[in-house]
Structure 1
């Protein structure tokens, strides 16, 4: 049996929550799925507007928590006063390194990330819904510059 699509997951999630599946929500999700990098609300809003969609920032801000709750999107990091996101469904778990100087973000994978979450779950009897790992520091190039 194949994995359900992001649209199917979101439709079912919205239905179970007793909310309306609106065209705006679908347009927002479709555009997010086209972005293969981190994004913020302003960038998403401009992309939609440039395509002729009349979707407010408020609609985006109301839709993002739903997409996060159903496991399609996650918050990645906060910078300059606003959150950056990425779509994660179907992607391998990964972490992020952020350079505090040049602000470059580098993604990396390590099987130990899942092991840490699983060990915590077993040890503390917790239910883990989402995992987000972020390393903050200075990249090699910035360290060379001093």
Structure 2
């Protein structure tokens, strides 16, 4: 989904939730739609402020909460980090978190997916959903 379509999807989700789309909120939605990383609320606040949105941190939190409730963004909480957010419209992926820099890398591994399904099946289960987070450090 392109950035403009994603921003429109965010806006539509807020309207469904009965939330008014102010100029500031629309600017925040564009900032969120453009994010290529996994920003936290403070990062989104600073990006929106830099873009001239004049949005309050409370509005950022309320907007993120409403978008999460509508199922258009995912809240991801990595160990020892503030909650981060990503669009819910992407394909399944896992995360590697650099414990030194906090950098988050998305990855997909068919081998890991297959192995997880095999292990669950061997134990008499099928996977409904899952999350995999690898906490890593660059080799010296």
The superposition leaves residues 71-129 of structure 1 with CA deviations (integer Å, 9 ceiling, x where unpaired) of: 3321223455521222342x22211022445544321114538x96xx344xxxxxxxx
Identify if the C-alpha distance between structure 1 residues 50 and 74 changes in structure 2 by more than 3 Å, giving closer, same or farther: same
Give the aligned partner of residue 67 of structure 2: 67
TM-score w.r.t. structure 1 length? 0.66
2:103 and 2:8 mapped to 1: Cα distance?
Answer: 34
Q: Is the deviation greater in 56-65 or in 4-13?
A: 4-13
User: How many residues align structurally?
Assistant: 126
- The two structures, once aligned, show a CA RMSD in angstroms of 3.0
Give the aligned partner of residue 44 of structure 1: 44
Identify if the C-alpha distance between structure 1 residues 101 and 134 changes in structure 2 by more than 3 Å, giving closer, same or farther: farther
The answer to whether the 8 Å contact 2:17/2:66 transfers is: no
Query: Unaligned 5+ residue runs, structure 1?
Result: 122-130
Larger strand share, 1 or 2? 1
Give the aligned partner of residue 138 of structure 1: 136
Give the aligned partner of residue 109 of structure 1: 108
1:96 and 1:21 mapped to 2: Cα distance?
Answer: 32
Runs of 4+, deviation exceeding 6 Å: none
TM-score w.r.t. structure 2 length? 0.69
SS in 1 for 2:71: coil
1:5-16 mapped onto 2 (5 Å cutoff): 5-16=5-16
